[in-house]
Structure 1
Amino acid sequence: MASISAVLSPTNLIHSSTKPAEILLKSVSFHRRRTHTLLRLSPGRPSRLFAALTAQDSSSVAERKLYVGNIPRNVDNEELTRIVEQHGAVEKAEVMYDKYSGRSRRFAFVTMKTVDDANAAIEKLNETDVGGRTIKVNITEKPVVNMVDMSLLEAEESQFIDSPHKVYVGNISSTVSTETLKNFFSEKDKVLSAKVSRVPGTSKASGYGFVTFSSEEEVEAAISSFNNVLLEGQPIRVNKA
């Protein structure tokens, strides 16, 4: 059977400041025919092969990454790892915390070593009791958000006026919008600004938000007036942020 070899030499490499480098691969013999293959390499742009491998790697991670919801507030990364690793090898566990209050948001993400580990963890842990709470465990889903939604959310975020006089509003229904939250609090006092927090990269509400005022007196009045009051069917929690 005829052999195939590739010859690379300095003369095969053509460098230019305006053109991508070119490598000439010369097959010496292939069924008595000579062929030449010219590969064009763009130093500043990733190859299609690299992009394909990166996509496959991202897909693999997505298949191993679990969402763990409704966990007790006292469960931290180490405790969550201990719980999950009883059913498969854990690569990383991360409990989500509110950056303002520092409290657990009662959900986490756990990346397992393999897809089999992920499936085993789901089978053994989903709908089980942890610290008196029934937890939810499943594969994380890629957020599906159209460009219009994202542009509106970005504009909404940029319009938020922060202030040292601010309240944290928890247990917000997923149907509550920023405008609804602002109008609700405006019934009693003049609101400076408001926003409903979203899961990063999506339009999904995180279940909490913030309302800002011009003075500390207005903050105290808002807490007194709205804490445990129903907003679209759910009693909201209002305290200083």
Structure 2
Amino acid sequence: MQQNKLYVGNFPYSVTEDQLRALFSEYGQITDLAMIMDRETGRPKGFAFITFAAQQAAEKALEQNGRDLGGRPLKVNMAMERDASRGPRPGGGGGFGGGGAGRGPRY
């Protein structure tokens, strides 16, 4: 299977989708650019997924790894396919078990 999708991370929250598109379009035609946003604030989370029309373009765009953008080194890697067998992530709790309603010890 061809892999044309890149993960691009560690960019400043101030970077726009247009800026990312301009930076990476010099390597080839971008068919999809998904900037990941925080659900609560609506602001960018500092990473995106970029899909190129051609695998060669995606491979060439890997050269941006480590490039400074707004004072931060970009992290550019081939995107990993999500493992469908993992299923949805459980929510809440943070692994601490919850409960107790914040009460201290009883004396």
Q: Could you state the TM-score of these two structures normalised by the residue count of structure 1?
A: 0.38
- Name the structure 2 match of 1:74: 14
- Name the structure 1 match of 2:77: 138
- CA shift in 2, pair 1:126/1:101, >3 Å: same
- Distance in 2 (CA, whole Å) between partners of 1:130 and 1:86 is 16
Secondary structure at the counterpart of residue 95 of structure 2 = helix
Q: Which amino acid counterpart does residue 94 of structure 1 have in structure 2?
A: A
Deviations along 1:82-110, whole A, 9 cap, x unmatched?
A: 01112222222121001111121110000
Q: Which amino acid counterpart does residue 74 of structure 2 have in structure 1?
A: I
- Alignment pair present for 1:178 and 2:94: yes
- Name the structure 1 match of 2:102: 190
More helix by share: 1
- Distance in 1 (CA, whole Å) between partners of 2:17 and 2:30 is 11
- Distance in 2 (CA, whole Å) between partners of 1:74 and 1:181 is 36
- Distance in 1 (CA, whole Å) between partners of 2:38 and 2:97 is 19
- CA shift in 2, pair 1:114/1:105, >3 Å: same
Secondary structure at the counterpart of residue 107 of structure 1 = strand
Q: Which amino acid counterpart does residue 119 of structure 1 have in structure 2?
A: E
- Distance in 1 (CA, whole Å) between partners of 2:80 and 2:43 is 24
**1:1-241 to 2 correspondences below 5 Å:** 59-60=1-2, 63-122=3-62, 124-144=63-83, 146=85, 150=87, 153=89, 156-157=90-91, 178-180=94-96, 182=98, 190=102
Where does the alignment leave 5 or more consecutive residues of structure 1 unmatched?
A: 1-58, 161-176, 192-241
Q: Which amino acid counterpart does residue 91 of structure 1 have in structure 2?
A: T
More strand by share: 1
- CA shift in 2, pair 1:181/1:76, >3 Å: farther
Q: Which amino acid counterpart does residue 190 of structure 1 have in structure 2?
A: G
Flag the structure with larger Rg: 1
Q: How many residue pairs align between the two structures?
A: 103
**Identical-pair percentage:** 26
Q: Which amino acid counterpart does residue 135 of structure 1 have in structure 2?
A: L
Deviations along 1:11-68, whole A, 9 cap, x unmatched?
A: xxxxxxxxxxxxxxxxxxxxxxxxxxxxxxxxxxxxxxxxxxxxxxxx44xx111100
